[in-house]
Structure 1
Amino acid sequence: MTAPRTCKDCLPGSKRPAPHQGPRCATHWRDEKKRRSKAAHEKRVKETYGLGDGVYDTLYASQGGRCAICTRATGSTRRLSVDHDHKNLLVRGLLCRPCNDMLGHSRDNPEFFERAKKYLEKPPAQDLGTWYAK
């Protein structure tokens, strides 16, 4: 019978089982997965947008840890997207997926948002004198 594996990251003498790669206990495996995910993300934004080490985190902190447009999304479930100008490829900020998609749909045209503002202020159904509620 083989001795149970112990976690390589735990203190010496710890008897925590290490069923995960490394071998690692569940706690240290979770930490390792977060570390790997962060490193992969940092590499991807560096290769794609030219953001140096720590720039994403600095930008995230400068935005108060929220989407620059809606200010609701925090990126805790899904990281905020790096928004950039498609003409000159300059990074503008970090956005949640819906806000980033909205900008993409508008094709970075400010007139789109002016029309949307007018629509919200005076919906077409209001002109008909009929408001329909569910």
Structure 2
Amino acid sequence: MTDCVACGEPLTGRQRKFCGSACSKRASRAAWIEKVYGITLAEWDAIFAAQGGGCGICQRPPRPGETFHLDHEHSKGQSGPVRGILCPYCNTRLIGRLKDHTKAQLMADYLREPPATRALGRVVIAPGRPKKKRSLKRRRP
């Protein structure tokens, strides 16, 4: 009798390598992560735990059935250092649209030291839009 490659449970009947589809999916995911990113599934779990169990940017935990993305720098085509694990939104909409770290640094500098504050030498608080005057509704006789 042999055991499941992924979890070690004994195999029964016609099972050859895995005890079920969950173990098969986990093993194929582990193989893919190791092949593409060069880290093991245990290392992926360690990175995710170090981030507090959520996205590395927005800190949101994954929803049921949602798969988070392993973010890495695209400095030389597809290869580059692994940075962390992100939710799909932060990976594709935030990091993906910035393209490189220089734009992210420029954005952070802009928010920390706005050009208006440097030019005027003081912080100006915008008063906001004036509230609309409410018109009295006319009653029909």
Task: Work out whether the TM-score is over 0.5.
Answer: yes
Q: 1:104 aligns with which of 88, 96, 102?
A: 96
For structure 2, the residue ranges without an aligned partner over 5 or more in a row are 1-9, 115-125, 133-141
For structure 1, the residue ranges without an aligned partner over 5 or more in a row are 1-7, 11-20, 24-28, 119-125
> Cα distance 1:46–1:106, how it changes in 2: closer, same or farther (>3 A)?
same
Aligned length: 102
How far is the alpha carbon of 1:112 from its aligned partner? 4.0
Which entry has the higher C-alpha Rg, 1 or 2? Answer: 2
Give the match for residue 86 of structure 2: 95
Seq. identity, %: 24
TM-score by length of structure 2 reads: 0.56
Q: Secondary structure of 2:20's partner? A: helix
Supply the distance in 1 between the matched residues of 2:62 and 2:14 (Cα, whole angstroms). 32
How far is the alpha carbon of 1:55 from its aligned partner? 1.0
- Of the structure 1 ranges 107-116 and 76-85, higher mean CA displacement relative to structure 2 is found in 107-116
Q: 1:47 aligns with which of 17, 32, 35?
A: 35
Q: What RMSD over aligned residues (CA atoms) do the two structures have, in Å?
A: 3.4
> Cα distance 1:97–1:131, how it changes in 2: closer, same or farther (>3 A)?
farther
Q: Secondary structure of 2:85's partner? A: strand
Q: Deviations over 1:50-105 (max 9, x none)?
A: 11352111111221211111111326422210000111610000000000012011
> Cα distance 1:75–1:128, how it changes in 2: closer, same or farther (>3 A)?
closer
TM-score by length of structure 1 reads: 0.59
